[in-house]
Amino acid sequence: MTDLLTIGDFARESGLTPKALRLYDDLGLLRPAEVDPSTGYRRYAPEQLERARLVATLRLVGMPLARIDAVVSAPPSMAARLVRAYWLQVEHDTASRREIVSALVDQIESEAPPMTTTTDTLQAAIGTSHRLGGRTHQQDALLAAPRLVAVADGFGERSDLSTAALEAFAARGLDAAVATVTADVEQTLPDAPTSGTTLTAVSIDGATASLTHVGDGRAWLVRGGEVRRLTHDHTVAAALVESGQLTPEEYRSHPHRSLLNRALVPGVVADTATVDLRAGDRLVLTTDGVHAVVDDLAPLLASPAPAQRVADDVAAAVEAAGEPDNHTVVVVDLS
């Protein structure tokens, strides 16, 4: 059958990856039209392209496998009704969970002990790396001051929003950063406001770190050789992985894994947290150009090397992985 496509050609045409196609085959959602019995090579028919794209989109919205199979096997009118019915149930479930969460938060806050403060002051040694990678424009930005470190990752037509957002945040806080980004985008791109930026920042006061996070940058705490993530990625796919609706394998190979569900826009609610720090702790901030391509950062982040050496080693690992994107890392060693 000469009209069949190799898995590589089919992947390029569908916008998926060969790894994702193998996974959908394993899950029974998209079987190849032909599998060579001697080599195991998969081949696909061109008419399977629409089904492949539909499967990927349905997985992105969190639809369970059994429902996906029903949707892709149904005629278009029935498939539309099935998708509409699924999403209606999701909205009702979300409303119910919102009430439960609100009551739970009130209960936890009423039981919380009074906040205590410390006057201990930790000294910070900072290392940074800030590279263009495979892009033609630098849309990452960073701040690296003794009491405030931050990274931002811009997207869209504008390449200066991340820097403007960090400057505004450092001067006047999150609301100012949002206002700056919004005004700049609306002024220069009123008809297509597709540009924006993420922001992940840590301010240090005495021995307390205050975290502000919007987007898919990451903050890490290294303590006693153990590495702990302090942030959750604000992407559609990451939320589905956390809820068990998307497998980690699907996430790594999904064409829309970087689709943000939070960025610096009016009304955004940032994730915030405080962390009690100790001498010997290390804080690390990375943009997604780092953690999207280096699968296991923990050994690099936990290295006993000085902060600048760690930042350089992380950048080298990204470069070795092909560095397709801008990539930025900030390392803060506390003593």
pLDDT for 40-75, tens place per residue?
A: 899 999 999 999 989 888 988 888 888 898 999 899
Whose tokens are 């590589």? That residue is: 8
Q: What angle do CA 210, 211, 217 make, to 5 degrees?
A: 160
Q: Which of 28-37, 144-153, 176-185 has the lowest mean pLDDT?
A: 176-185
CA distance 64 to 234: 21
| 67 close to 57: Cβ distance less than 8 angstroms | no
- How far apart CA 137 and CA 163 sit, in angstroms, is 13
Query: What does each C-alpha distance from 137 to 123, 153, 217, 320 come to in angstroms?
Result: 34, 12, 18, 20
Percent of the chain with pLDDT over 70: 94
Q: Are strands 124-131 and 327-334 parallel, antiparallel or unpaired?
A: antiparallel
| Tokens 């069949």 sit on residue | 4
How confident is residue 121, by pLDDT bands cut at 50, 70 and 90? confident
Give the DSSP per-residue string, 258-275.
T-BS--S-TT---EEEEE
Q: Quote the mean pLDDT of the chain.
A: 89
pTM of the model: 0.74
- Residue 292 CA to residue 237 CA, distance in Å, equals 13
As given in the structure block, the two tokens for residue 290 are 């780092």
The pLDDT value recorded for residue 60 is: 83
Give the residue ranges of DSSP H helices in the chain: 7-14, 18-26, 49-60, 65-73, 76-111, 161-172, 174-188, 236-242, 248-253, 288-291, 298-301, 307-320
At residue 73, the pLDDT reads 87
